Amino acid sequence: MVILAITVVSGIATFCRFYLMTWLGERVSADIRKAVYHHLLTLSPAFFAKERTGEVISRFTADTTLLQSVVGSSLSMALRSTVSVLGGLVMMGITSITLTGLVLLAVPVVLVPIGVLGRKVRRLARISQDKVADLGAHVDESLHEIRTVQAYNHEQSDIRHFDGRVESVMQAARLRIRYRAALMASVVLLSIVAIVLVTWLGALNVLEGSLTAGQLSAFMFYALMVAGGVATISEVIGEIQRASGATERLIELSRMPQDIKEPQNPVDFPAHALADITFDNISFTYPGDENNAVFESLSFSVKAGERVALVGPVGQGKVPYLVYCSASLTLIAGRYCWMASQSMTCR
């Protein structure tokens, strides 16, 4: 009956652990997505002109999904293994405090590859996620402009570019997997070597009569349980380092500075106000291409209630001119003026 009761409690605990950790992963991912999206909507058009949409979307999908998987699954495994390791160490201490002390002396040695290789895995994980984002940006651009791609018979060229980016992702992943495998192998190898050496010392104690064969067998069983838990934790550490690279990319996105900020004390614009608009010596360039002006030194005035038509040949800058005017007039409605080049007065 006792064994049955313990089994029931174990099953309930497993359900709670899996449910709570999986829910936590979903909640963390959802909160991060909301926080990043809310911040993105406050950024200026200059940011979106420089950053590719596909890369931004990749941070929303690939990075948050990876973080969700680590929090919901990997940390759950780490929690279970940590309990097993602690329980095994307690039972080892009860069996033989001397041999347990020798095992604990090997812990700093096991932590060395975790510190050295773990940082390498984290850096390579960041590079790998950047490559995946670059791949997503290429797919977004080519499919979004599929009519242009097909009109210029550019399919084979895009296929070659895509294949090259896929291989670049694989190359980055191969190096990351190599270091992660080395991390896991090092931790498992050092742990087992430490246990074997301690077991050998335990065998000597049995021959001397200070330890019974049954105690040594029990100690070896607990030691193997601890080694299995350490192996699982080392695998989870690799996943956590990989998720750290994705987290850095999300934090970087959420901390992008705002070029245009809301006024601290905004004043409502009158509903039926009439005003003259004057543009004085205005120039326009696309963000990231400041040396190539679409138009320069443009000056004009629009009287209250007056309508102005914009005409000219194709490719002469009418569209950015209209975008600029729309943005300027919108900001004027909020009672402050956007300086694009030298000056713009509003009265």
**Tens of pLDDT along 135-156?**
777 777 787 778 888 888 888 8
Give the range among 154-168, 195-209, 279-293 with minimum mean pLDDT: 279-293
Of 68 and 170, the one with more pLDDT: 170
CB 256 within 8 Å of CB 133 = no
Q: Is 295 helix (H, G, I), strand (E, B) or coil?
A: strand
Provide the 8-state DSSP code for 269.
P
pLDDT of residue 315: 58
- Work out the number of other CB atoms within 10 angstroms of the CB of residue 138: 19
CB 99 within 8 Å of CB 92 = yes
| Pairing mode, strands 343-346 and 293-302 | unpaired
- Work out the number of other CB atoms within 10 angstroms of the CB of residue 172: 19
pLDDT of residue 50: 73
Q: Is 63 helix (H, G, I), strand (E, B) or coil?
A: helix
pLDDT of 333 > 50? The answer is no
- d(Cα 248, Cα 32) in Å, to the nearest integer? 12
Residue 280: which H helix or E strand, with range? strand 277-285
Tell me the pTM.
Answer: 0.58
Instruction: Sketch out the chain's domains with CATH numbers.
Output: 2-254 (1.20.1560.10), 277-346 (no CATH)
pLDDT of 51 > 60? The answer is yes
Distance of CA 143 to the CA centre of its chain: 25
Residue 99, both tokens: 């041999």
Please name the residues in contact with 70: beta carbons below 8 A apart, sequence gap of 6 or more.
25, 239, 240, 242, 243
Tens-place pLDDT, residues 257-316: 777 677 777 777 666 666 777 878 877 776 666 677 777 777 878 787 777 777 766 655
pLDDT of residue 127: 82
How confident is the model over 22-41, as a mean pLDDT? 81
Of 336 and 101, the one with more pLDDT: 101
pLDDT of 168 > 60? The answer is yes
Provide the percentage of residues in the chain whose pLDDT is more than 70. 84
